[in-house]
Structure 1
Amino acid sequence: MKNIRAGRPVSCRCVEDLPKVTCFNPEGVSPSRLESVVISVDELEALRLGDKMGLYQADAAARMRISRQTFGRIIESAHKKVAEAIVEGKSICIAGGHVEAHSGPFGTSGPESCVCLGCGYENPHLDGIPCRIELCPQCGGALVRKGRSSSVDT
């Protein structure tokens, strides 16, 4: 069951692209002993903008349409999770988050569709039926409306 917290609701974070790969496994750890760390799509976007692209936090935050302080919290969380996975030999899985796409494969042009954040599967959106009530036929993950604000829990 989801924890209900008091205070301000979480705002959508804009991301430019879905991850191409959603899980990384360490070599030399048997599958029966393998533990994992889950990084959300917005944490991955923060790593991409801040670490890979080298943007200042204020610039990266503006691209994600969040405050600089929120960006700092997101990237700090992502850094801790990645460090935990590397130091303790855990897999890193990318799933979930509260995201809104503003370019890339989430583009809003053309017919509306439902997309799986887990594997990228898409199917046409049927009016009157929320995407979130359907499951991905390929991986069983939750579907979200392409290009809309979406909260996905893992």
Structure 2
Amino acid sequence: MPRPKKHRRIKCCPTAYYFKPRGIPMCELLENILAEDEVEAIYWADFKGFDHETGAQKMQISRPTFGRILKAARNKIADALINGKALRINQDYFKKLAEE
């Protein structure tokens, strides 16, 4: 049985949660789902331009964990772009933030 995920510090709150290729009906699309920690890692590394060490500190996780999360997120984004898949951001955590 895998270990339960640790609580991670998430600050980024995206304004859109779904991206799809233009001109392809939703019923024909496969989708990749980005977890909230993957969105946060993309935010710190690619949007803010921080290195892995600083991004890991911002998320309060280890640098190797940050690197693994970032690699998984980039892989999902690249797969969606190259193979014409939809990209969905898991909203559960962000809905809880909005309620608080």
The answer to whether TM tops 0.5 is yes
Shift of 1:96: 5.7
- Structure 2 regions of 5+ residues with no counterpart? none
State the Cα RMSD in Å: 2.1
Q: Larger % of helix: which?
A: 2
Match of 2:48 in 1: 53
Are the counterparts in 1 of residues 55 and 66 from structure 2 also a CA contact under 8 Å?
Answer: yes
Q: Which residue of 2 aligns with 1:83?
A: 78
- DSSP-derived class of the 1:37 partner: strand
Give TM-score, length-normalised by structure 1.
Answer: 0.59
> Taking every aligned residue pair, what percent have the same amino acid on both sides?
32
Contact 2:17 2:91 in 1 (8 A): no
Structure 1 gaps, min length 5: 100-114, 123-145, 147-154
TM-score (structure 2 length as normaliser): 0.87
Higher relative contact order (CA 8 A, sep 6+): 2
Separation in structure 2 between the aligned mates of residue 31 and residue 59 of structure 1, nearest angstrom: 38
- Match among 24, 28, 36 for residue 41 of structure 1: 36
Structure 1, 70-79 or 27-36: larger mean CA deviation: 27-36
Aligned residues: 100
2:95 to 116, 140, 147: 116
Which structure 2 residues correspond to residues 135-154 of structure 1 after superposition, within 5 A?
146=100
